[in-house]
Amino acid sequence: MTTDTEYPELAEPYNLRLPYKPAVIVLPITNQHVQDAVVCAAQAGVKVQAKSGGHSYASFSSGGKDGIMQINLQSFQTVQLNENSGVATVGGGVRLGNLGDGIFTQGNAAVAQGTCPGVGIGGHYTHGGYGHASRNWGLAMDQIVGAEVVLANGTLIKASSTQYPDIFWAVKGAAESFGVVTTFYVQTRAAPASITYFQFAFTGIFNFKRVFTNTFLHIQDVAKNASVIDNRISFGIYLDNWGTYSLSGAFFGSVNEFNTKVKPELLRTLPSAQVTVQSMGWYDYMVKVSGEATIKVPLTGYDEHENFFAKSITVPESAGLTSNALNALYDYLKTAGSTQYYIIINLYGGPGSAINSKDTNFAAYNDRDSLWVLQNYGFGSAINFVNGINSAIINAQPQTSFGAYLNYVDPTYDAATAHELYYGDAVYSRLAVLKKQVDPQSVFWNPQAIGA
């Protein structure tokens, strides 16, 4: 309850900009506790959201408004690898670092997932989940082979492609609207003996519009070039208000192959860069890209926070970004002044991408045709500035129908706009029908939930 001494710290979301106050925070230890809590909330007419890692950009695990029931899964910390099947049983509150650490330590296993150790499986895996193994192995979501879910009527089900397949489909894209996943079953792979990490830190990209635009257009050409790019490579571009412009990623192949086949083509015609190409073991790679000293995260008392506004653009593969859009982006970024922002442009598509080999029948996830996914991020109250990044690009390329990425959820969209951008009409309609059947009272709710 709000008067308990632990309440203030438990209620504090990752994004301090949106500090919603749940009416009650439930700390279940068993599935039955979760079931009882959901039944209780439904009877009282209180909305419910699960909290896993708590990293929602919109503080939706705190409800997206005051007065909800938050079901905090911090006691659901199982990570158990079955070495025969490679399937890991993972509690709904496990953070990505502990998952990556646990399966590797138990049996040299690996998964494709995001890089930040503190992010939770509950949000990340159910809304996509991108990392530099994703073009090879798929989104984090694609590896879920089963889920134990507490539904709005308090029933606990095991959902999979053969049991409750509709709910299983919906959990992969819209879990927060359908229940509380207490346990995930995740298909892992054998970790590669080594992986090639690379980074090109460019200088002078912002000096001229022509350089800024042509650099990206060249990288985009390479990204679509099947004689250079296959499933084994992923990369993203990071740029910020300090003038940083760097391309980094991972290659499931040797340093030699990277240096002879990929690197020269990527760097051809581009301004000079400080180049790092390094072979490393899988575990060292996870630590490297985490940006932390360790990927292990304490099971309780997590206390990292930011204050930010971020949103996304998904760019269809058929369109890419045009020179008009890049020129407009350049002009707009020049107006930043002292605003602190960064943009990450990750490669999802291109030849051989495992992400785009699936469709919307596999999961309630509508971005399988994206070439790039942009994350536009501003610190503090940079809402107008970040909205302007999106507008600059979108207005300069009106012929393209852009979408948005569920894991970078943007609370400034009204529900209808969010549904259109995140799911599109076909997927949303199917979700809405299912929502009426499984959760007719909208027990599971946030401002952009299915049916909201």
Ligand X SMILES: Cc1cc2nc3c(=O)[nH]c(=O)nc-3n(C[C@H](O)[C@H](O)[C@H](O)COP(=O)(O)OP(=O)(O)OC[C@H]3O[C@@H](n4cnc5c(N)ncnc54)[C@H](O)[C@@H]3O)c2cc1C
Binding site for ligand NAG (CB under 6 A): 151, 153, 155, 221, 225, 227-228, 265, 437-438
Region binding ligand X by CB under 6 A among candidate stretches 100-108, 113-121, 159-167, 355-363: 113-121
Q: Is 55 in the site for ligand X (CB under 6 A)?
A: yes
C-alpha pair distances (Å), 376 with each of 97, 130, 310, 386, 420: 24, 16, 5, 6, 19
Please identify, using beta-carbon distances, which residue of 151 and 333 lies nearer to ligand NAG.
151
> Measured from the CB of residue 115, what is the shortest distance to ligand NAG in angstroms?
28
> Measured from the CB of residue 442, what is the shortest distance to ligand NAG in angstroms?
14
DSSP 269: T
What are the CB-based long-range contacts (under 8 Å, 24+) for 64-68? 64/18, 64/20, 64/411, 64/446, 64/447, 64/448, 65/20, 65/446, 65/447, 66/20, 66/21, 66/22, 66/23, 67/21, 67/22, 67/23, 68/20, 68/22, 68/23, 68/445
Q: Of ligand X, ligand NAG, none, which one sits near residue 61, judging by CB under 5 to 8 A according to partner kind?
A: ligand X
H-type helices in 201-271, by residue range? 209-223, 255-257, 263-267
Q: Is 173 in the site for ligand X (CB under 6 A)?
A: no
Residues 13-52 that bind ligand X (CB under 6 A): 14, 49-52
Please identify, using beta-carbon distances, which residue of 155 and 318 lies nearer to ligand NAG.
155
Give the residue among 402, 399, 371 at the shortest CA–CA distance from 389: 402
Work out the angle at residue 312's Cα, subtended by the Cα atoms of residues 307 and 314, and round it to the nearest 5 degrees: 165
> Measured from the CB of residue 326, what is the shortest distance to ligand NAG in angstroms?
17
Q: Of ligand NAG, ligand X, none, which one sits near residue 350, judging by CB under 5 to 8 A according to partner kind?
A: none
β-partners of residue 311 are 376
Residues 281-320, one symbol each (x = binds ligand X by CB under 6 A, - = not), give ----------------------------------------
Instruction: Return the C-alpha torsion angle 165, 171, 177, 183, nearest 10.
Output: 110
Q: Of ligand X, ligand NAG, none, which one sits near residue 197, judging by CB under 5 to 8 A according to partner kind?
A: none
User: Which residues are CB-contacts of 288 (< 8 A; sequence separation ≥ 6)?
Assistant: 197, 280
Question: Which of 26, 28, 35, 53 is in the footprint of ligand X by CB under 6 A?
Answer: 53
Please identify, using beta-carbon distances, which residue of 177 and 213 lies nearer to ligand X.
177
Q: Of ligand X, ligand NAG, none, which one sits near residue 375, judging by CB under 5 to 8 A according to partner kind?
A: none
Region binding ligand X by CB under 6 A among candidate stretches 175-183, 207-215, 248-256, 426-434: 175-183
How far apart are the C-alpha atoms of 224 and 352, rounded to whole Å? 10
Please identify, using beta-carbon distances, which residue of 222 and 404 lies nearer to ligand NAG.
222
Q: Of ligand X, ligand NAG, none, which one sits near residue 172, judging by CB under 5 to 8 A according to partner kind?
A: none
DSSP 15: B
> Measured from the CB of residue 438, what is the shortest distance to ligand NAG in angstroms?
4
Residue type at 252 in one-letter notation: F
Give the residue among 12, 15, 114, 11 at the shortest CA–CA distance from 55: 15
Q: By the criterion CB under 6 A, which residues form the site for ligand X?
A: 14, 49-57, 60-61, 73, 92, 114-116, 119-120, 122-124, 126-131, 175-176, 180-181, 407, 446
